[in-house]
Structure 1
Amino acid sequence: MSKPSIITLHDLSFKPLIPEEEVRKRVLELGEVLSAELKGKRPLFISILSGAFVFAADLIRAFDGDCEVSFVKLASYAGTSSTGEVRTVLGLDKQIEGRHLVVVEDIVDTGQTLHHFLEEILKHKPASITTVGFLRKPEAVAFPVKVDIIGFDIDDKFVVGYGLDYNGLGRNLRGIYVLAD
């Protein structure tokens, strides 16, 4: 069965940007990098919901070692743009002091969400923090945030798929799709 070249979610059309096979290959590579960097440690992976859950699930399966997983839900988007405000909807449920943390983010757009979250967790004195962003829009970054490991750098355009959505739809797409012109 051939994959559609254009998909429609609500009132917008999207075209393929990163195919499923490329996504899968890159996540395995990121898992290998993390496995090497954190060898002998038992990190706590913290997935920022809702968008990062698909990436986080695949990433921890690609991680070769013991690990724990936790989730936080932060919200900063409405429709296709950032609201400029980060709200904590669901906070951490684990102690992080002295722990090796891997913060998993779906997309680093302005960097506001990650910046806000890192400021909060630094107060709890973790042993280390490794930040992993599946996608990054270098042109859009407006907050001083260091992303240690990046899946793909992309242009400053709205994307869906692989956990990313447009008003709730598109998270189940296996590749990344970009807003069609």
Structure 2
Amino acid sequence: MNKVLYSEEEIALQVQQLAAQISDYYAPRVSIAEPLVLLPVLKGAFIFSADLVRQLTVPVRVEFLRASSYRSGTVSGALELDIPGASALRGQHLLILEDIIDTGKTVSQILMALRACEPASLQICALLDKPARRVSAIELAFCGLTIAGDRFVIGYGMDLAERYRELPYVGEIDTCTF
């Protein structure tokens, strides 16, 4: 690994700020009977989502999405997508939780699939944004931290070939040494 980009403390502060923004935005829109439906994208967003959920002050329901395109490498391939049934999402306020928005291809396909479910609203929250590699136009309703340049990051749920997810910080790794 080359260096730590965001420390555990910086991430915790950012998650707290995102939770406050999300709670403020959705407070007039959701209720116990109609909670906000959080859609963490597995596997990368599981740690971010767990930390975020505990700080939200609005009622939530959690449904997990599974999206995989990297397999064991650092180059994105064909996307495999597993989304809960449309009947569970129709008419609900949906918030996709992503660890990182990179090219935007994965979240674009997720958005397309979720729009077919006819939600009341559909937004994206990402802990990290890496605009240098964006190829699909993505509008983030809630965005945490920005990764400058084209760096491959690991930690806080993000991996390289299923390694490094457990790191409590976000770090840059030199993929040439892998």
Question: Fold-level match, TM-score > 0.5?
Answer: yes
Mapped pair 1:31 → 2:25: no
The 5 A counterparts of 1:1-181 are 13-40=1-28, 41=30, 42-78=35-71, 79-83=73-77, 85-88=78-81, 90-93=82-85, 95-155=88-148, 156-180=150-174
Q: What is the SS of the residue equivalent to 1:81?
A: coil
- More helix by percentage: 2
Q: CA deviation at 1:14?
A: 3.8
User: Tell me, which stretches of 5 or more residues in structure 2 are unaligned?
Assistant: none
RMSD: 1.4
Aligned partners of 1:75 and 1:56: how far apart in 2? 17
Task: Report the structure, 1 or 2, having the larger strand content.
Answer: 1
Unaligned runs of 5+ in 1: 1-12
Q: What is the TM-score with the length of structure 1 in the denominator?
A: 0.88
CA displacement 1:32-65 (0-9 Å, x = unmatched): 0000000041200001000000001111111102
| TM-score for both structures, normalised by structure 2 | 0.89
Q: 2 CA distance for matches of 1:30 and 1:67?
A: 15
Secondary structure in 2 matching 1:165: coil
**Deviations for 1:73-124, whole angstroms, at most 9, x for unmatched residues?**
11111312212x2111x33156111100110011100001100000000011
